[in-house]
Structures are given as structure tokens and as C-alpha cells.
Amino acid sequence: MHGVGGTVAAVVVLLLVLGFAVARPRGWPEAVAAVPGAVVVLALGLVGPAAALARVVELGDTLLFLAAVLVVAHVADTEGVFRWLGARVGAACRGSARGLLGLTFAAAAGTTAVLSLDATVVLLTPVVLVTARHLRVSATPPAYACAHLSNSASTLLPVSNLTNLLAFNASGLGFLSFAGLMAGPWLVAIAVEFAVFWWFFRTDLRPGTPSAEPPGDAPVFALVALGVMLLGFCAGPLVHVPAVAVAVAAAVVLAGRALARRRVTPGQVVSAAAPLLCLFVAALAVVVEAVADNGARDLLDAVLPTGASLPALLAVAGIAAVAANLVNNLPATLILLPVVQGHPGPLLAVLLGVNIGPNLTYVGSLATLLWRRVLLGAGVRPRLGQFTALGLATTPLALAGATTALWLAL
């Protein structure tokens, strides 16, 4: 199937898959719709098997990294790492919900920039949930800060996000040049997010009454293993060791020890790796490739400006943000980069759009889907209406401000 009929069919399948992922009726996993969707586009000939396989293989390291980090987080939780850290952070905040929000912003911005957005979602979110419970304040502002900054604070360094690595490789810039151009947009986006959060959650930021529960003994082995893993994320690029290798090694060490001590079961380790979420991402990539092959690339090639004026950069960033919310930011990046390759200004504007833009919807980025999974696992159910309202309040302002800062830097 080709032509208009192929385009319509591919878009319909994509919308059905994404709609299911947002709604998750009866709590069913996202893969329930995504896998049949991938089968349909393959059966209709909307994407070739070779192209579909190439796209899935391209995501292989990302999915392996995700699974490994989730296993690390599960074992760390079992060992009491988050409870211990939450109690320590709560003591530092002294019952202040505003202090917790400020501390979360600082920690999330730094963690995302240096260690990657997955570390913020998987490792920091549980800590702030425990801390809020310890302080007896609303967990919503700091938890939502982890979600937002995992996206909007991931623009600074090439290692902050896989989308950055893709853009960095296509930009022709050096590491320091890339960071220098993105430092201004990174700071502006964080500042805008913080100001809007302070206003949006003004009624939730009341002082709490800290629990007197002692933090207990420090889980030394797990803390050391996490520290070595985080150090590996920082130092790995300098010695050409990929983050996925560091994450897998940490998962093997922590899970192996926990299994030997019967703290976890093999089934729990497999479940923690979220195989269905990984399957959803792979199937979604196949569906998006079908959309790209049936008109999306040609459309973007026709509408994306290639100039470096402020209106052009704003247009590129806006289109990239819309694309990220329609097809997820990683597939959107893969579609958009060939169109702007060779044009550093528009290329970096695309990066701002696919990193900041996903704060509008759950399906905008894998990090947000993962964040929702972490919250549900902790017994916290995020509200779609509140998430969307906060996204509408922050994303356009942060994206416009960051893009303007990029234009000034250029």
C-alpha cells in the first residue's frame, strides 16, 4: 500500500498506538497496542522488514541501557537505598516543601546533564517520593520536577540524552563547542521551569511536619555500587566505554549479589527490566518508520526552515516539539536530523524541540513513560489533566526562551 492510502493508514495506526499508550485502559501495558500496530504496518507493506529491523537495532543500546538501569533501581530499592537517602534529604530540607522543590531542581538539573535523563527518572524520583513522605508534604511538585527536568535539562552535553548524541554526531561541533552553545538555552529552560513550578504549585508548597523515623544503617555496598556506576557514566566517554556497558555491569553486580542473598528472585529481576516497555519502544519505532516512509520525511523537508534567524529557529524548534509529542522524541530526532544536517542552527533548534517539547504529553519521551511507571510502582498515580496543564504552562515559555538564547549564542 502506497500513496495517500498508505499515508493515512500509517498515521491512523500511529494515533491508535499513542492513544492507547496515554490512556492505558485497565492498566494494560503500552505494548498491547504497539506490537499489533507494528505487525499491521509490516503486513500492509508500509515499511519493509529490513528498514524495520534496522530501526529496532538502532535502538538496541538504548533499550539495553534502560533495562539495566531499571534493574539497578529495583535492587537499590530492595536494599533500602532510597529510604536511607530520602531520610537524609528530608533532614536537610527541615520540613520545607519549598526547600525540597529547590533541592530537587538542582539535583535533577545536574543529574540529567551529567548522568543522563534516565538516571534522574529512575534514581532521583524514588528519593524525592520518600523524602516528601518523610517530610509529610505533597510529593507532586518534586516528582513532576523530576519528569520535566529529565527532558528540559537534557540539552547541555552530548552525553545527557541519546537525542543529543545523534545531533552531536551530525553537527560537526566539538564537545566544548556543543556545550558552550547549549549552556544558555539549558539555563534559561531550567529558570523558566522553576518559576512556573513555583507559581503552579503555590498551594502545595506548605511546610510539613517531618517524621521522627531514623534513617537506619546505610546500605554501604549498594551505595558504593551506585557511586561507581555514576562515576562510570561521567568518565566512560573519556575512555570510550559506553554508558550501556557501565549500566549492565552495575546491574549484574547488584542483581547477582541480591540473588545470592535471596533478596530478590529471578522473576523479580526480569520484571524489573520492564521487557514490555522495551517491546513497546521497539514496536513504536517500526510504526514511526512507516509514517516517515509514507510522506512524513518529505513533508518535513518541505516545511522546515534552514536559516539561522530567530523566527526560523523558533519555527524549527516548534515543529520538532510537535513531532516529538506525536511520535516520541527519539523517532522524531531520527526523522528530523537528515533534513537539517549541515545547518548547525536549525539542528540545535531541533534538539531543543525534541528535548523540551516532550513535557507536554506522556508519550513525548521515553523518560516520561518511564517516570509514570516509577510513580505507579510507588503507589502514586499521576493525573493526566494536571500533567497536561503543567506542560502547557511551562513548555511553550521554556522552548521560546531556550531558542532565543540559542539564537543569541549563535
Q: Would you state the cell numbers that stand for residue 371, as one nine-digit string?
A: 517516570
Instruction: Please tell me which of 4-18, 75-89, 136-150, 294-308 the model is most confident about, judged by mean pLDDT.
Output: 136-150
Name the packing angle between helices 162-171 and 175-200 (round to 10°). Answer: 140
Closest Cα to residue 394, out of 78, 149, 27? 149
Phi and psi at 258, nearest 5°, equal -65, -35
Domain tally for the chain? 1
Name the packing angle between helices 275-291 and 49-58 (round to 10°). Answer: 130
Closest Cα to residue 245, out of 60, 56, 54, 55? 60
Q: Structural domain of residue 56, as residue ranges?
A: 3-409
Assess whether pLDDT exceeds 80 at residue 207.
no
Assess whether pLDDT exceeds 60 at residue 182.
yes
28-41 pLDDT, tens digit per residue, is: 887 888 899 999 98
Our CA angle for 336, 164, 180, nearest 5°, is 115
CA–CA dist 262, 305 (Å, integer)? 58
Q: Transcribe 159-196 into DSSP letters.
A: GG-HHHHHHHHHH---HHHHHHHHHHHHHHHHHHHHHH
Assess whether pLDDT exceeds 60 at residue 212.
no
Q: How confident is the model at residue 196 (pLDDT cuts 50, 70, 90)?
A: very high
Q: Would you state the cell numbers that stand for residue 161, as one nine-digit string?
A: 540524552
